[in-house]
């Protein structure tokens, strides 16, 4: 058996989860409209809904809260955070936001004009929402293999340069405000982008004067995969790799709630002076002063410390390998999952898990609901419900990947929790024939997966 690293932390504070019985869980998910987003946290035993804002902070981060400077303007914690982002990510300017979508809102409003196209390596829900809300059309330029759960490639988040070139030829470079490059790619299963691919995307964009903005939400996980998988990087530090990654970009949006190791926070970073001035003008409308952008002083201190802790090899090695531990157990038991195992979670392949439920009957949504009912483990649908509708035709997007994401919060759970989760899924897999499809009974017009409600089809 493969060796998995022990937790590189000692547990100082514990939280006792509730364990509901089966009857109570059935009642809870019914009351939640079979949507795991609508469950109460206290009704969940192992909560793998998301790795967003669910991180356990370190003693140093908690200590940092005590030196929060809550001044309306010029907080010392902002200066610390700003300096940390510049040092660790290498950008010239930073504008703070309350979380990732705040940064996406600013970037989209600043750069997108109606009728333009934003290419990206697979869509992300909030990112695409802001692009479309500002009049752009999203174009997927990820390699085809990323849409196939069974193809095992080291860098399945890579951009297909031919697809990017084809879009440039079709619409013209002047119609592309920027290329959006996610590192790692959440919806593909947490798949990384190689450094060689980032370099090649930069070279192609330079030919046409195109800007590249990274979604750097899980950039440290991406850097870990580069170190482990890409030739020439084994002896580089995570910090060096992260800096090189961003050297191929013009800026980035960040949700600090993931690789920033905090519970809230984000930023928009860029190298262009003029764009920075404009982002400072705009941030006061939506987020707050350019010295807090929706975060408290104490949040900013914890964020600065989190960024420094996140690039430590022992931390990121354990984080990614703990996810792999869960995935490996499921693969060994024959449960269909997206391969290879990504950085932040294990994605169940609902099409193969529930071949008797067609995509119209929302198999991943139903699987997530049933996993909760059977075990108290909360997961998230990442399939047709999350994909939403085409803004022009009104038709459902039908993604090839119909998945349930088991997202592992950072520094929160142990390997024993992964064992319980794996056993619950294996048990459910044995009884999969009993699972039925779902239908919408309430469908919100935007980002529908958060608030939607469902019921059984028949
Ligand atoms: N991701 C996640 O659970 C939280 C909300 S969506 C269900 O995966 C990327 C790659 C993300 C992301 C959030 C955001 C938005 C941007 N890019 O949630 O606004 O994974 O901080 O970040 C979630 P915020």
Q: Please work out whether the CB of residue 190 comes within 6 Å of at least one atom of ligand 1.
A: no
Count other C-beta atoms under 10 Å from residue 158's C-beta: 25
**Beta carbon of 215 within 6 Å of any ligand 1 atom:** yes
Q: Band of the pLDDT at 404, cuts 50, 70, 90?
A: very high
Nearest to 326 by CA among 139, 51, 36: 51
Structure tokens at 412: 């929160």
Residue 458 has a pLDDT of 72
Q: Could you tell me what percent of the chain has a pLDDT over 90?
A: 99
299 touches ligand 1 (CB under 6 Å): no
Question: Whose C-alpha lies nearest to ligand 1, atom 11?
Answer: 217
Instruction: Report which of 420, 421, 417, 432 is spatially closest to residue 364, judged by C-alpha positions.
Output: 432
Ligand 1 atom nearest to 185, measured from its CA: 10
Any atom of ligand 1 within 6 Å of the Cβ of 217: yes
CA nearest ligand 1 atom 16, residue: 100
pLDDT band at 451 (very low <50, low <70, confident <90, very high): very high
Q: Which of 400, 450, 438 is nearest to 34 (CA)?
A: 438
Mean pLDDT of all residues in 153-167: 98
Question: Measured at the alpha carbon of residue 173, what is the angle toward residues 168 and 176, in degrees to the nearest 5?
Answer: 95
**pLDDT over 70 percentage in the chain:** 100
For residue 126, which atom of ligand 1 is closest to its CA?
A: 15
Cα–Cα distance measured from residue 327 to residue 347, given in angstroms and rounded to the nearest whole number: 8
Q: Is 379 in the pocket of ligand 1 (CB under 6 A)?
A: no
Task: Please tell me the distance from the alpha carbon of residue 95 to that of residue 282, in angstroms, as a whole number.
Answer: 10
| CB of 98 sitting under 6 A from ligand 1 | no
Please give the Cα distance from 143 to 308 (Å, whole number).
Answer: 32
Nearest CA to ligand 1 atom 4: 52
Task: Assign 447 to helix, strand or coil.
Answer: coil
Q: Is 345 within 8 Å of 326 (Cβ atoms)?
A: no
Mean pLDDT calculated for residue range 130-153 = 98
Secondary structure (3-state) at 115: coil
Question: Does the Cβ of 131 fall within 6 Å of ligand 1?
Answer: no
Tokens describing residue 392 = 């022009």
72-121: per-residue pLDDT in tens? 999 999 999 999 999 999 999 999 999 999 999 999 999 999 999 999 99
Q: How far apart are the CA of 450 and the centre of ligand 1, in A?
A: 12
The CB of 99 under 6 Å from ligand 1? The reply is yes
Q: Indicate if ligand 1 lies below 6 Å from the C-beta of 54.
A: no
Atom of ligand 1 nearest to the CA of 449: 7
- Say what angle helices 297-310 and 76-89 make with each other, to 10 degrees: 20
> Which of 48, 52, 265, 448 has most ligand 1 atoms within 8 Å of its beta carbon, as the pocket-test mutant?
52
- CA–CA distance, 99 with 253 (Å, rounded to integer): 9
Ligand 1 pocket test, pick from 138, 183, 255 with the greatest ligand atom count within 8 Å of Cβ, gives 255
SS3 18: coil
Q: Which of 48, 96, 186 is the pocket-test mutation for ligand 1 (most atoms within 8 Å of CB)?
A: 186
Tell me the catalytic residues: 72, 124-125, 215, 258, 382, 449
CA triple 337-256-305, angle to 5 deg: 120
**H-helix or E-strand spanning residue 348:** strand 345-349
What does 198-261 look like in DSSP terms, one character per residue?
A: HHHHHHHHHHHT--EEEE-TTHHHHHHHHHHHSTT-TTS-HHHHHHHHHHT-SEEEEETTSTT-
DSSP state of 185: B
Asked if 353 and 364 touch (Cβ cutoff 8 Å), the reply is no
pLDDT tier, 4 (very low <50, low <70, confident <90, very high otherwise): very high
Compute the distance from residue 111 Cα to the ligand 1 centre, in Å.
21
Q: What are phi and psi of 160, to 5 degrees?
A: -85, 110
If pLDDT is split at 50, 70 and 90, which confidence band does 1 have? confident
- Judging by DSSP bridges, how do beta strands 179-182 and 212-215 pair with one another? parallel
Q: Give the single-character DSSP code of 191.
A: B
Q: What's the mean pLDDT in 309-326?
A: 98
CB of 101 within 6 A of ligand 1: the answer is yes
**Is the omega angle on the peptide bond into residue 13 within 30 degrees of 0, that is, cis?**
no
Residue (of 375, 385, 399) closest to 437 by Cα position = 385
- Tally the C-alpha atoms within 13 A of residue 120's C-alpha that lie toward its C-beta: 26
pLDDT-derived band at 33, boundaries 50, 70, 90: very high
Tokens describing residue 227: 């170190």
- Check residue 290 and give its pLDDT: 98
Cα 189 to middle of ligand 1, angstroms = 13
Considering the chain, what is the average pLDDT of its residues? Answer: 98
> pLDDT at position 135, please?
98
With CA atoms as reference, report the closest residue to 69 among 371, 303, 298: 298
Which tokens is 109 given? 């409003």
Task: Judge whether 98 and 263 are in contact, CB under 8 Å.
Answer: no
CA nearest neighbour of 159 among 107, 125, 94, 203:
203
Cα–Cα distance between 190 and 406 in angstroms, integer? 11
Ligand 1 centroid to residue 183 C-alpha, Å: 13
């Amino acid at each position: 058996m493969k060796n998995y690293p022990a937790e590189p932390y000692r547990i100082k504070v514990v939280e006792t989860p509730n364990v509901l019985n089966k009857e109570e869980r059935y009642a809870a998910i019914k009351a939640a409209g079979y949507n795991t987003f609508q469950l109460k946290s206290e009704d969940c035993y192992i909560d793998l809904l998301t790795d967003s804002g669910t991180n356990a902070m370190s003693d140093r981060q908690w200590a940092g809260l005590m030196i929060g400077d809550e001044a309306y303007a010029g907080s010392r914690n902002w200066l610390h955070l700003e300096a940390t982002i510049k040092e660790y990510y290498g950008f010239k300017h930073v504008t703070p936001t309350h979380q990732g979508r705040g940064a996406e809102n600013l970037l989209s409003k600043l750069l997108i004009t109606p009728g333009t196209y934003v290419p990206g390596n697979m869509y992300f829900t909030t990112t695409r929402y802001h692009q479309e809300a500002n009049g752009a059309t999203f174009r997927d330029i990820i390699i085809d293999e990323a849409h196939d759960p069974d193809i095992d490639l080291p860098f399945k988040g890579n951009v297909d340069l031919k697809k990017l070139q084809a879009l440039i030829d079709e619409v013209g470079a002047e119609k592309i405000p920027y290329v959006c490059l996610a590192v790692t790619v959440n919806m593909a299963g947490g798949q990384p982008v190689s450094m060689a691919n980032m370099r090649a995307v930069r070279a192609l964009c330079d030919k046409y004067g195109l800007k590249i903005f990274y979604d750097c939400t899980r950039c440290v996980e991406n850097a870990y995969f580069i170190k482990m998988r890409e030739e020439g990087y084994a002896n580089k530090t995570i910090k060096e790799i992260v800096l090189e990654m961003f050297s191929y970009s013009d800026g980035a949006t960040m949700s600090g709630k993931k690789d920033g190791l905090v519970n809230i926070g984000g930023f928009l970073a860029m190298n262009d002076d003029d764009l920075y001035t404009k982002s400072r003008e705009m941030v006061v409308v939506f987020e707050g002063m350019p010295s807090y952008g929706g975060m408290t002083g104490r949040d900013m201190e914890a964020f600065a410390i989190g960024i420094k802790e996140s690039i430590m090899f022992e931390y990121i090695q354990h984080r990614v390998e703990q996810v792999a531990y869960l995935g490996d157990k499921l693969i060994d038991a024959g449960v269909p999952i997206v391969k290879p195992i990504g950085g932040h979670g294990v994605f169940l392949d609902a099409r193969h898990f529930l071949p008797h439920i067609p995509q119209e009957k929302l198999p991943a949504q139903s699987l997530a609901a049933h996993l909760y009912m059977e075990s108290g483990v909360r997961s998230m649908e990442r399939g047709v419900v999350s994909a939403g509708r085409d803004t022009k035709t009104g038709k459902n997007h039908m993604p090839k990947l119909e998945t349930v994401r088991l997202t592992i919060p950072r520094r929160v759970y142990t390997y024993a929790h992964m064992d319980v989760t794996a056993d619950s899924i294996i048990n459910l897999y044995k009884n999969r024939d009993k699972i039925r499809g779902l239908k919408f009974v309430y469908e919100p017009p935007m980002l529908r997966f958060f608030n939607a409600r469902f019921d059984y089809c028949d």
